[in-house]
Amino acid sequence: MKVADRWLEWVGVAYIVLVLTLSLNVVRSGWSGWAPGIEALSEDRGATGLAIAGWAGAAVLLTAAWRGGLSALQWWIVASVAAWTVTPAISMVMHGSLQDARLWSVAFASVGVAAAGALVTADALRLMMYGLGWFFGWGSVLAGVSCLATGWPNVLGEGTDRYGGWLSVFGLELGDVRYLNGLTAGRIFVGMTCAVLLVYSVRTMLARSTPRWMWVMPIGLVLAAVWSFARVGWYSVTAGLIAALLPWERIKSWFLSSALLAATLVPLALLLALGSEWMPDSTTRWRFDLWDEYLADSAMLGPFGIGPQNPPDWVRGHAHQQFLESQATGGWLAIAGLVAFLVLGAIAVRAAAHTDNRAGIAVLFAAVAIFQIDVITFAPTFANLNNAFVLVVVVVVSTAGLPSLLGSQCPERVIVSP
């Protein structure tokens, strides 16, 4: 492997790990009160940590512009992430509110994540994702087992017969079952994070000679996702792995882009065509009713949406659908950025399909599966960037720098594979 400026990779990896560490600080705040800075982090909902990530993100972006040697496609993807994530802060200002400075920190941190991903080569990305897979998979599972045995760390939610009822289908009569929050801010985050790591790892490991013991890592991700009882995680794993079986490299990029966009909008299309009354599952029905509340607000279709501080339902906190959330919090520019990210991402992962065994395609389909019923961008009720957002952006923008895409545009960062 020939790479000039190897230290750039370390800058990218270090920043990505820094951003992911913010979620660990939130988790640790529930375990103990003595760790430095944890009390403040809880009280201001992550403002200090996000501010550090924001300033560091700006430094990473400048470093990428100075020495990164990014391809044109990578810069366009970074720009799409900026349009997608900076606009909620702009919308907040346009609605006459400056009360949540965290949104500016998130804007810089999100663009910094994209720039950091562009600095990470395929080999470094693979090793980082494998390491994160061990940590968030088996790390969450072992923490859950320890909580059951000793009561510490507190990574399990309260017992409920709802999940016990699900397991009874398989003949397991366990009564109340506690769900796994693991080493994330909650069970939904476990599902999202493990889904992205799992589909990437499985598709990548199948493409190369992988020691048998390494397959223990995806098992941990599966166990963590299942124990979280987060259906969004289960669904994302299924969608990502099935989609990655299809030979997208033989199909035009516009078809892959269209498939990603259409998949994201399927639930909204069902809502507009059928309403929510036909939905037998109460959890899904309340999402449909929530989307009705958003769509009923005429201000939603304005150029700046309704702003990040004005969700119609404060209990649920955000739209639970990525397109609705982006339109609500950032308006037209946020939607344009999201669409551009999916289209440009489709171009990148399709071109690299032969190189990475469609791992990038798997990640994008896992992401749009999340988009259907939840969000991965920042909401005012959060205290850190969503791990799934960080991982999806990093995989896509790093994949856009693979040799099959760069050709001779950037020979100093080309990876020479045997």
Per-residue pLDDT of 59-70, as tens digits, reads: 999 999 999 889
Q: Residue ranges of the alpha helices (H) in 278-331?
A: 282-296, 322-330
Asked if residue 346 lies in contact with residue 260, where contact means CB atoms within 8 angstroms, the answer is yes
pLDDT confidence bin for 413, thresholds 50/70/90: very low
The answer to whether 353 and 158 are in contact (CB under 8 A) is no
> What pLDDT score does 6 carry?
84
260-291 pLDDT tens trace:
999 999 988 888 888 777 777 677 788 888 99
pLDDT at 315 over 70: no
Q: What is the pLDDT of residue 374?
A: 93
Q: Are 143 and 154 in contact (CB under 8 A)?
A: no
408 — pLDDT class (breaks 50, 70, 90) = very low
Residues 230 and 218: their CA atoms lie apart, in Å, by 17
Residue 230 region by backbone torsions, left for phi larger than 0, else alpha for psi between -120 and 50, else beta: beta
pLDDT band at 406 (very low <50, low <70, confident <90, very high): low
> What percentage of the chain carries pLDDT values higher than 90?
60
Find how far residue 215's CA is from the centre of its chain: 23
Q: What is the structure's pLDDT at 169?
A: 53
pTM for the whole structure: 0.90
Can you tell me whether residue 46 is helix, strand or coil?
coil
What is the C-alpha to C-alpha distance for residues 108 and 56, in angstroms, rounded to an integer? 8
Copy the structure tokens of residue 384: 């850190």
- What is the largest distance, in Å, between two alpha-carbon atoms of the chain? 61
Please tell me the distance from the alpha carbon of residue 272 to that of residue 337, in angstroms, as a whole number. 24
The answer to whether 108 and 385 have CB atoms below 8 angstroms apart is no
Question: In a 3-state reduction of DSSP, which class is residue 347?
Answer: helix
CB contact set of 104 (below 8 Å; sequence gap of 6+) = 54, 89
Q: What are phi and psi of 389, to 5 degrees?
A: -60, -50
**127 neighbors 197 (Cβ within 8 angstroms):** no
| Predicted local confidence at residue 175, as pLDDT | 58
Q: Got the DSSP string for 47-101?
A: HHHHHHHHHHHHHHHHHHHHH----HHHHHHHHHHHHHHHHHHHHHHHTT----T
* 308 neighbors 88 (Cβ within 8 angstroms): yes
Q: Between these two residues, 404 and 292, which has the higher pLDDT value?
A: 292
What type of residue is 173? E
Q: Which residues contact 169 (CB under 8 A, 6 or more apart)?
A: none
User: In this structure, are residues 22 and 50 in contact, taking their beta carbons and an 8 Å threshold?
Assistant: yes
User: Which pLDDT score is estimated for 111?
Assistant: 98
pLDDT, residue 411, reads 37
Count Cβ atoms within 10 A of the Cβ of residue 136 and give its class: 0-12 exposed, 13-18 middle, 19 or more buried.
buried
Q: How confident is the model at residue 415 (pLDDT cuts 50, 70, 90)?
A: very low
